[in-house]
């Protein structure tokens, strides 16, 4: 990355202040993170079938230094060391093991009478397979009898085919257990807004940043995301109510549904035999996101706190350890209860205080500057904002209840960014005057203001290199000071884009093949409707029948008034065109493995009626560019 700077004296002072406010003599996390270590891989690079690196176990050698450099918040440095330096197979207790440090998430393995239950098989098949090979080598070569997905996010199911085969599931040899509505949310969460979420995700995880002390040092929840093959096997068994029990090869499991917490479909569960409680991603060693910076629907902190409280009561006295889908376990009944209570109270405090202050008239931008956690919650390492933050979580709570508008009519219909930016620059006396004042603010360490005010000049004149450089410098210092991994990555990614432009890199795949094939056609056509270019379609009236012979489903799609509507189980009598094909062929086209023209030529699709109308229909669809600008217009 070009032109990267050192930490200024103001950043040095900000990061030094962190050393004075936290309990650095509390090293229990390091004891717990290393406890029960069995083995790791001899070869530090996990590759795919083509030899391409999917995950590097030694990707952060600089984190071996105990003392944080001036360019990294010491608290984030501590968290990143805990995540990067402890990797491999760990024994949690008799019968319970974990693979940690092989992906953003953690894979847990629990022994049954004759085999294993695998919980949350990571993001990629390659990393999950490498983890299971460690289990087989050091614990024993036994069959996987069940896989449990704790919730609907991809880092908890994407590697499933590295652990089991779909053929064995279909043959009834292996259960796949998930909370109710798992498949619906696993598929839908990133479909409609998938392109923009993925682009912003590249900022959130620092995917284009170098891994070093001035770049990406981790993401708080885990170091980063693996980039292997994402797979999906649909659940065979759904958990539909709290208190539901299931025996899997002699192993009893008691479930607690926790909808609308960290994920819309999620569950905790107890293994009474091992006195071990899995809290999924509802309780981890950080403050989690109530709103994720990549973009998503806001989560419900009141429900989150409620279900943690319910877990405290429901499972009381029946566990001696807690493990989760990220980070390291917590051992000891008293420590576990304290952990649950402080995580519960953290989310409840943010919720209640935000609404209290909102009811006094404070706004979305004012409340985060007021709220501080109570000292007991603030000092707990597992409540630190390594992934979420007080600031953006409070904003999300305000948004959940009150929306984007703060009640001030001046903010009801503001000018769009580029037009407003030109007016701001003009009011400030022009570009040179703005830059002179901003440089003075930078020299005084007011980086938040510099980033905010110089952004107006960048939007008014994107080619102004002095403005881009100054904003990049301000964002960089804010990144160096950030305790949250995603905040650091956003700031530094923005600085990189300002300095180097948008990267011309290969575009990430839109979806995993298994996820595409599992997508209900209704969701597929919902996405198609989003892709319709409304103004281009405004005067068009086109009706297309779609007939999928392999699944015996029919749809009618109609473009009128600039929108695409569809209906299942119908065919229009006077359609402009009727497309007859298979769902399998549609999946291949959606995955970019084939074109419609190829399927027509091969006889795998046919069109009755006007082929020209079908072509016109398809011409109305937009293509989403992935590498769009974020910090410039």
Q: Is the dihedral of CA 72, 78, 81, 82 positive or negative?
A: negative
The domain spans of the chain are: 9-391, 414-481, 520-619
User: How many whole angstroms separate alpha carbon 386 and alpha carbon 379?
Assistant: 13
Q: What are phi and psi of 247, to 5 degrees?
A: -105, 125
- Fold (topology level) of 520-619: Nonspecific Lipid-transfer Protein; Chain A (3.30.1050)
Q: What are phi and psi of 222, to 5 degrees?
A: -170, 180
How far is the CA of 468 from the CAs of 417, 449, 633, in angstroms?
16, 15, 12
- Fold (topology level) of 414-481: 1.25.40
Q: Is there a contact between 517 and 587 (Cβ–Cβ < 8 Å)?
A: yes
In this prediction, residue 509 carries a pLDDT of 56
Sheet holding 321-323, edge to edge: 245-248, 251-257, 267-271, 276-278, 321-323, 330-331
Query: Residue 161 gets which letter from DSSP?
Result: G
Please give the helix or strand (H or E) that residue 548 lies within, else none: strand 542-548
**For the chain (length 633 residues), average pLDDT per consecutive 10?**
89 96 95 98 95 96 97 98 97 98 98 98 98 98 98 96 98 98 89 86 92 97 96 97 98 98 97 98 98 92 98 98 98 98 98 96 96 96 97 97 94 94 96 97 98 97 97 98 97 95 69 84 90 94 96 96 95 95 91 89 94 93 86 86
Q: Is there a contact between 15 and 7 (Cβ–Cβ < 8 Å)?
A: yes
Where b means 16+ CB within 10 Å and e means fewer, 576-593 reads bbbbebbbebbbbbbeee
User: How much is the pTM?
Assistant: 0.94
| Cα angle value 54/59/63 (rounded, 5°) | 155
User: How many whole angstroms separate alpha carbon 342 and alpha carbon 287?
Assistant: 11
- Looking at domain 9-391, what is its CATH homologous superfamily? Metallo-beta-lactamase domain (3.60.15.30)
Q: Is there a contact between 124 and 229 (Cβ–Cβ < 8 Å)?
A: yes
Domain 414-481 in the same topology as domain 9-391 = no
Q: Is there a contact between 144 and 116 (Cβ–Cβ < 8 Å)?
A: yes
- The runs of H, that is alpha helices, within 218-365 are 301-314, 333-359
In this prediction, residue 193 carries a pLDDT of 84
In this prediction, residue 191 carries a pLDDT of 79
Please give the helix or strand (H or E) that residue 568 lies within, else none: strand 563-568
Q: Is 177 helix (H, G, I), strand (E, B) or coil?
A: strand
In this prediction, residue 8 carries a pLDDT of 98
In this prediction, residue 263 carries a pLDDT of 96
User: How many whole angstroms separate alpha carbon 402 and alpha carbon 258?
Assistant: 24
In this prediction, residue 627 carries a pLDDT of 81
End-to-end CA, the chain: 22
Q: What is the CA radius of gyration of the chain?
A: 26
Q: Is there a contact between 319 and 275 (Cβ–Cβ < 8 Å)?
A: yes
487 sits in the region (left: phi over 0; alpha: psi -120 to 50; else beta) called alpha
């Amino acid at each position: 990355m070009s032109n990267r700077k050192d930490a200024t004296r103001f950043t040095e002072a900000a990061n030094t202040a962190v050393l004075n406010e936290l309990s650095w003599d509390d090293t229990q996390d390091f004891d717990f993170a290393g406890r029960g270590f069995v083995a790791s891989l001899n070869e530090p690079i996990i590759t795919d079938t083509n030899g391409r690196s999917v995950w590097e176990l030694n990707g952060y050698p600089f984190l071996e230094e105990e003392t944080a450099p001036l360019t990294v918040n010491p608290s984030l440095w501590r968290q990143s060391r805990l995540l990067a330096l402890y990797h491999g197979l760990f024994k949690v207790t008799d019968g319970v093991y974990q693979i940690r440090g092989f992906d953003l998430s953690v894979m847990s393995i629990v022994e049954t009478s004759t085999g294993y239950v695998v919980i949350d098989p990571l993001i990629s098949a390659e990393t999950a397979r490498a983890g299971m090979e460690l289990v087989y080598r050091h614990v024993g070569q036994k069959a996987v009898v069940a896989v449990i997905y704790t919730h609907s996010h991809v880092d908890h199911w994407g590697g499933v085919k590295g652990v089991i085969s779909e053929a064995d599931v279909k043959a009834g040899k292996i259960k796949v257990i998930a909370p109710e509505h798992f498949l619906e949310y696993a598929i839908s969460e990133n479909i409609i807004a998938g392109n923009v979420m993925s682009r912003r995700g590249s900022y959130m995880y620092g995917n284009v940043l170098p891994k070093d002390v001035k770049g990406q040092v981790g993401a708080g929840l885990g170091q980063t995301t693996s980039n292997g093959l994402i797979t999906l096997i649909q659940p065979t068994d759904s958990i539909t109510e709290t208190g539901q029990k299931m025996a899997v090869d002699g192993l009893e499991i008691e479930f607690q549904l926790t909808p609308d917490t960290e994920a819309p479909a999620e569950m905790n569960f107890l293994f009474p035999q091992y006195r071990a409680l899995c809290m999924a991603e509802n309780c981890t060693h950080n403050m989690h996101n109530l709103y994720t910076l990549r973009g998503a629907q806001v989560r419900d902190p009141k429900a989150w706190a409620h279900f943690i409280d319910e877990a405290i009561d429901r499972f009381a006295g029946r566990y001696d350890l807690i493990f989760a889908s990220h980070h390291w376990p917590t051992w000891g009944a008293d420590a576990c209860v304290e952990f649950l209570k402080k995580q519960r109270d953290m989310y409840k405090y943010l919720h209640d205080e935000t609404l209290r202050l909102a009811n006094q008239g404070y706004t979305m931008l004012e409340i985060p500057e007021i709220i501080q956690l109570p000292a007991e919650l603030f000092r707990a390492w597992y409540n630190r904002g390594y992934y979420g933050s007080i600031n953006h979580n409070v904003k999300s709570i305000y948004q959940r209840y009150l929306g984007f508008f703060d009640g001030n009519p001046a903010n009801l219909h503001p000018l769009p960014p580029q037009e407003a930016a030109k007016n701001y620059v003009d009011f400030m006396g022009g570009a040179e005057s703005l830059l002179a004042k901003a440089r003075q603010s930078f020299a005084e360490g007011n980086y938040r203001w510099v980033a905010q005010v110089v952004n107006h000049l960048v939007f008014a004149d994107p080619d102004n290199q002095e403005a881009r450089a100054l904003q990049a410098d301000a964002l960089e210092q804010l990144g160096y000071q950030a305790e949250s991994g995603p905040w650091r990555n956003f700031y530094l990614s923005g600085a990189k884009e300002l300095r180097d432009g948008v990267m011309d890199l290969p575009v990430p795949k839109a979806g995993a093949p298994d996820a595409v094939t599992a997508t209900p056609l209704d969701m597929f056509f919902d996405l198609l409707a989003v892709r319709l270019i409304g103004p281009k379609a405004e005067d068009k009236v086109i009706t297309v029948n779609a007939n999928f012979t392999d699944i015996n489903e029919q749809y009618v799609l109609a473009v009128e008034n600039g929108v695409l509507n569809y209906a299942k189980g119908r065919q229009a009598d006077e359609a402009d065109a009727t497309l007859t094909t298979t769902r399998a062929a549609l999946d291949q086209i959606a995955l970019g493995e084939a074109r419609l023209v190829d399927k027509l030529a091969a006889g795998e699709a046919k069109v009755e009626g006007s082929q020209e109308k079908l072509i016109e229909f398809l011409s109305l669809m937009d293509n989403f560019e992935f590498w769009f600008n974020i910090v410039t217009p």
